[in-house]
């Protein structure tokens, strides 16, 4: 994969299967965003997260596009702003492909025409939240939070992989080299315990494996009401107790385990990350063939 590039917009025991990732070169561009009033539909939004959402729409969405609409707080702000730009006439003939019930609801309220995702659908651009982004590789984890009704990690990954262009909108705390936390893994229900034991052996000493419950407290077995996704799978939360040194290697290892259907790691695909900092917006991508540093 090509080295990552970056732009900055100021505003108002370790498992032997995992190895340290070589850091990628980053390039930076600095400029100033114009001051604007917060949107009335999101008065409690953090200003820089709102600016990140607006920048995503302004920079990447064009009239006539089919757009994948992500779920999460930042994506919700982007959906609201996209609807606003359509009402103003700045954007026309947009069709949204929602990744969850919540994003569909937000889009409907914002006046964005919607269509259902199909495998052969051409998606011009997609944006989404991410739980965490690995600095340098721009590999991402999604699905750590409780899934909205109808939300599917499998479908969401299909949409972002299908999109000709992809952007994640995150806060600075979610863009880091020091990865920790969990990775959700979808597994077949019938032999889920055998799969869980194999995952536990894979990351022995580095992670705990808990089956996600529908409600109540989590635990290794998922309690009395383990979650079953709309596709009929359990979710195992692989909770890392040691740093995640190579997210891509974790994903590759999970792919080779019998019973694993999919997981919440998105890796190895071209993307842009819009990062809301305390003092502005930073844009990082892995699209450039070379790293250049510019400051404006």
CA–CA separation, 12 and 277 (whole Å):
11
CA–CA separation, 86 and 80 (whole Å):
10
- End-to-end C-alpha distance for the chain, whole angstroms: 27
Interacting residues of 34 by C-beta distance below 8 A, sequence separation 6+: none
Integer CA distances (angstroms), 296 to 36, 60, 193, 282, 291, in order: 21, 21, 55, 13, 16
- Binning the chain into helix, strand and coil, the percentages to the nearest 5 are 25, 30, 50
Quick one: pLDDT at residue 23?
A: 33
Quick one: pLDDT at residue 166?
A: 98
Quick one: pLDDT at residue 26?
A: 41
Kindly state the tokens that stand for 285: 């991508």
Quick one: pLDDT at residue 18?
A: 31
Per-residue burial over 174-187, b if 16 or more Cβ lie within 10 Å, else e, is bbeeebeebbbbbb
Local structure of residue 37 (DSSP, 8 states)? P
Kindly state the tokens that stand for 98: 């929602």
Quick one: pLDDT at residue 206?
A: 94
Quick one: pLDDT at residue 283?
A: 96
Quick one: pLDDT at residue 58?
A: 98
CA–CA separation, 253 and 64 (whole Å):
40
- SS3 assignment, position 145: coil
Q: Report, as ranges of residue numbers, the positions in the chain whose pLDDT lies below 70.
A: 1-47, 148-150, 217-218, 288-296
CA–CA separation, 181 and 240 (whole Å):
6
Quick one: pLDDT at residue 146?
A: 79
CA–CA separation, 236 and 263 (whole Å):
9
Kindly state the tokens that stand for 246: 């190579």
Kindly state the tokens that stand for 177: 């080299």
Integer CA distances (angstroms), 18 to 156, 179, 258, 264, in order: 26, 13, 19, 17
Quick one: pLDDT at residue 201?
A: 96
> How many Cβ atoms are within 10 Å of 90's Cβ, its own excluded?
13
pLDDT digits over 5-59, tens only? 665 555 443 333 333 322 333 433 333 344 344 444 444 455 689 999 999 999 9
């Amino acid at each position: 994969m090509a080295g990552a590039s970056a732009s900055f917009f100021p505003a108002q025991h370790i498992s032997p299967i995992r190895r340290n990732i070589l850091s990628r070169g980053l390039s930076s561009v600095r400029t100033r965003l114009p001051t604007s009033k917060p949107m009335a539909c999101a008065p409690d939004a953090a200003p820089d997260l709102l600016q990140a959402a607006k920048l995503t729409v302004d920079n990447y969405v064009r009239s006539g596009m089919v757009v994948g609409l992500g779920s999460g707080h930042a994506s919700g702000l982007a959906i609201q702003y996209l609807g606003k730009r359509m009402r103003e006439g700045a954007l026309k003939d947009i069709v949204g492909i929602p990744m969850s019930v919540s994003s569909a609801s937000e889009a409907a309220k914002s006046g964005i025409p919607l269509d259902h995702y199909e495998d052969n659908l051409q998606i011009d651009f997609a944006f989404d939240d991410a739980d965490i982004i690995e600095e340098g590789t721009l590999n991402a984890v999604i699905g750590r939070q409780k899934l909205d009704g109808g939300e599917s990690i499998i479908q969401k990954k299909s949409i972002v992989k299908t999109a000709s262009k992809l952007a994640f909108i995150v806060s600075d705390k979610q863009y880091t080299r020091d990865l920790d936390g969990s990775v959700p893994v979808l597994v077949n229900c019938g032999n889920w315990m055998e799969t869980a034991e194999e995952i536990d052996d894979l990351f022995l000493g580095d992670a705990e494996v808990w089956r996600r419950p529908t409600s109540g407290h989590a635990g290794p077995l998922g309690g009395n009401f383990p979650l079953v996704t709309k596709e009929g799978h359990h979710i195992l939360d692989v909770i890392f107790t040691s740093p995640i040194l190579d997210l891509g290697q974790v994903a590759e290892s999970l792919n080779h385990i019998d019973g694993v259907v999919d997981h919440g790691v998105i890796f190895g695909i071209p993307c842009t990350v819009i990062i809301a900092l305390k003092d502005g917006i930073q844009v990082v991508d892995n699209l450039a063939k070379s790293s250049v540093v510019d400051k404006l």
